[in-house]
Chains A and B, each alone.
Chain A
Amino acid sequence: MTDVVETETRVSQPRPDGLRGFASDWASDQRTFKNVSWGKAMMWIFLLSDTFVFGCFLLAYMSARMSTTVPWPNPSEVFALNIGGTEVPLILIAIMTFVLISSSGTMAMAVNFGYRRDRRKTALLMLLTALFGATFVGMQAFEWTKLISEGVRPWGNPWGAPQFGSTFFMITGFHGTHVTIGVIFLIIIARKVWRGDFDTEKRGFFTSRKGHYEIVEITGLYWHFVDLVWVFIFAFFYLW
């Protein structure tokens, strides 16, 4: 039971850079991604597949909006908030964007401190990231509540094209789910960092592989991807 196969990220010989390196990496035996661990490569490939999922949602939204004969509701007015008697356009969405970007910043810092083996700072920054993420989901819940109380349904709304509701709930709902999963993922890894699992190279519960600080970077990849998707949703759904 103690014989656990270690997948190493060792590169035996110096490898060429640039296009020549690209060709030789892809033409070589066994491993294409020479200096990337399996965990990181798998997270990247998962994110690639997730890109297609969100790409298809945004495409469906584009097709619905381009082919409708009924005018599309103006997002600038739909998502306006009444603050101090004046209608401020899109203000909640702007705050949500800033919250998510802040969380990306703290996540990048956490990855950095992880590789410096600063256990406390890494865990605290990851928890701060999770807190920003939870704030984001909270504001999204507020936004959904507001829109539903104003009569937006997946099959119709008071302002125009009925597809507005279905695309809105589908796209932001799926993104919010991703943020929620990310928050859970962050809290689990932050707990392990805090406990010192990666300093003692404690073996994982499922995989019985040694834990490394690289998992912080892999968690970070997922989190930055969630932010990345929001960049596209913000541009195409809210601003367009």
Chain B
Amino acid sequence: MTQPATQPAAHTEHQEHPIKLYLVVWGLLFVLSLCSYLVDYVGLHGYLRWSLILLFMILKAGLIVAIFMHMAWERLALIYAIILPPLLVLVFVAMMVSESHYVLLSRMTFFGTGP
């Protein structure tokens, strides 16, 4: 274990970073958006399409939160308070996926539109 690093007592802390960084991120966001649009334009299907959509989405969201919203330079206390709770939505997603399967099964069983 290394000695915990200490940061100097900051009086008023400004989120001021070089303009070039913003321009690079801006360019990256454009490229990523173009890529996700091309996924549809080229007409990919199935798991390749879904995984590419998710990949580009997560990269874009990460860049916006980390650089544009300055989360990368915040203290861990704030990062965890804001980032962790939305991840718990994934539990809700899992519950609703199972529920949706059940609803679909019931509809096919009782309304006779199934195979």
Q: Which residue numbers of A lie inside 8 Å of B, CB to CB? A: 9-22, 25-26, 32-36, 41, 44-45, 47-48, 51-52, 55, 59, 62-63, 66-69, 76, 89-90, 94, 97-98, 101-102, 104-105, 107-109, 111-112, 115-116, 217, 220-221, 224-225, 227-228, 231-232, 234-235, 238-240
Taking the closest CB of chain A, its distance from the CB of B60, in whole angstroms, is: 5
| Residue pair A25, B77 in contact (C-beta under 8 Å) | yes
Please measure, in the bound complex, the distance between the C-alpha atom of A116 and the C-alpha atom of B89, giving whole angstroms.
Answer: 38
Q: How large is the interface on B (under 10, 10 to 19, 20 to 34, 35 or more residues)?
A: 35 or more
Taking the closest CB of chain B, its distance from the CB of A223, in whole angstroms, is: 9
Task: Tell me the nearest residue of chain B to A51, going by C-beta.
Answer: B86
| Residue pair A22, B13 in contact (C-beta under 8 Å) | no
B47 at the interface (CB under 8 A from A): no
| Residue pair A32, B77 in contact (C-beta under 8 Å) | yes
Q: Could you say which of A15, A62, A235 contacts B7, with CB atoms under 8 Å apart?
A: A15
| Residue pair A217, B15 in contact (C-beta under 8 Å) | yes
Q: Could you say which of B26, B56, B111 contacts A69, with CB atoms under 8 Å apart?
A: B111
With A22-B77, A66-B101, A235-B56 as known contacts, state yes or no: A14 contacts B6, CB within 8 Å: yes
Please measure, in the bound complex, the distance between the C-alpha atom of A76 and the C-alpha atom of B44, giving whole angstroms.
Answer: 12
Q: Which residue numbers of B lie inside 8 Å of A, CB to CB? A: 4-17, 19, 22-23, 25-26, 29-30, 33, 36-37, 39-41, 49-50, 53-54, 56-57, 60-61, 64-65, 67-70, 74-78, 80-82, 85-86, 89, 92-93, 96-97, 99-101, 103-104, 107-108, 111, 113-114
| Residue pair A232, B61 in contact (C-beta under 8 Å) | yes
Query: 11 extra interchain contacts, Cβ-Cβ under 8 A, other than A52-B86, A67-B99?
Result: A9-B13, A11-B10, A22-B76, A48-B82, A51-B85, A104-B29, A105-B23, A105-B29, A108-B67, A115-B15, A227-B68
| Residue pair A48, B64 in contact (C-beta under 8 Å) | no
Which B residues lie within 8 Å of A34 (CB)? 75, 77
Q: Could you say which of A21, A32, A108 contacts B68, with CB atoms under 8 Å apart?
A: A108
| Residue pair A104, B64 in contact (C-beta under 8 Å) | yes
| Residue pair B89, A55 in contact (C-beta under 8 Å) | yes
| Residue pair B53, A239 in contact (C-beta under 8 Å) | yes
With A9-B12, A10-B11, A224-B69 as known contacts, state yes or no: A108 contacts B100, CB within 8 Å: no
Q: Could you say which of A47, A90, A101, A225 contacts B40, with CB atoms under 8 Å apart?
A: A90
With A33-B78, A44-B82, A112-B22 as known contacts, state yes or no: A89 contacts B41, CB within 8 Å: yes
Which A residues lie within 8 Å of B49 (CB)? 239
Task: Tell me the nearest residue of chain B to A98, going by C-beta.
Answer: B33
| Residue pair A67, B61 in contact (C-beta under 8 Å) | no
| Residue pair A16, B76 in contact (C-beta under 8 Å) | no
| Residue pair A22, B80 in contact (C-beta under 8 Å) | yes
| Residue pair B8, A14 in contact (C-beta under 8 Å) | yes
Q: Could you say which of A26, A62, A90, A98 contacts B77, with CB atoms under 8 Å apart?
A: A26
With A101-B30, A234-B36 as known contacts, state yes or no: A16 contacts B9, CB within 8 Å: no
Task: Tell me the nearest residue of chain B to A32, going by C-beta.
Answer: B77
Which B residues lie within 8 Å of A9 (CB)? 11-13
Taking the closest CB of chain B, its distance from the CB of A32, in whole angstroms, is: 6
